[in-house]
Amino acid sequence: MSTSPESTDSAAAAAPLSYRAAGVDIVAGDALVEAIKPLARRTMRPEVLAGIGGFGALFEISKKYREPVLVSGTDGVGTKLKLAFRLDRHDTVGIDLVAMSVNDILVQGAEPLFFLDYFACGKLDVARATDVIKGIARGCEQAGCALIGGETAEMPGMYPEGEYDLAGFAVGVVEKSAIIDGRAIRPGDAVIGLASSGAHSNGYSLARKILDRANVDLAADFHGRPFADVLFEPTRIYVKPLLALMRAMPVKGLAHITGGGLVENVPRVLPDEVAALLDACAWPRPPLFDWLQKEGRVADDEMHRVFNCGIGMVLVVAPEHADAALSQLRGAGEAAYRIGSIEARKPGEAQTRVTPR
Query: DSSP of 181-242, one letter per residue?
Result: -STT--TT-EEEEEEPSSSTTSSHHHHHHHHHHHT--TTSEETTEEHHHHHHPPPP--HHHH
Q: What is the mean pLDDT of the chain?
A: 90
Separation of CA 314 from chain center: 15
Domain boundaries, the chain: 20-178, 190-355
Homologous superfamily assigned to 190-355: PurM-like C-terminal domain (3.90.650.10)
Query: pLDDT tens, 175-202?
Result: 999 999 999 999 999 999 999 999 999 9
Tell me if 20-178 shares its fold with 190-355: no
Sign for the pseudo-dihedral over CA of 335, 264, 258, 240:
positive
Query: Residue range 118-132: average pLDDT?
Result: 92
Whether the pLDDT of residue 1 is over 50: the answer is no
| Per-state percent for the chain, helix, strand, coil, to nearest 5 | 40, 25, 40
Query: pLDDT tens, 224-243?
Result: 999 999 999 999 999 999 99
Rg (CA), the chain: 24
Alpha helix (H) ranges present in the chain? Answer: 5-14, 26-41, 80-87, 93-106, 126-143, 204-214, 227-232, 239-248, 261-265, 287-296, 300-306, 322-331
User: What is the model's pTM?
Assistant: 0.89
Query: What is the topology classification, in CATH, of domain 20-178?
Result: 60s Ribosomal Protein L30; Chain: A; (3.30.1330)
Distance CA 46, CA 275 (A): 42
- Residue 266 CB neighbour total at 10 angstroms: 27
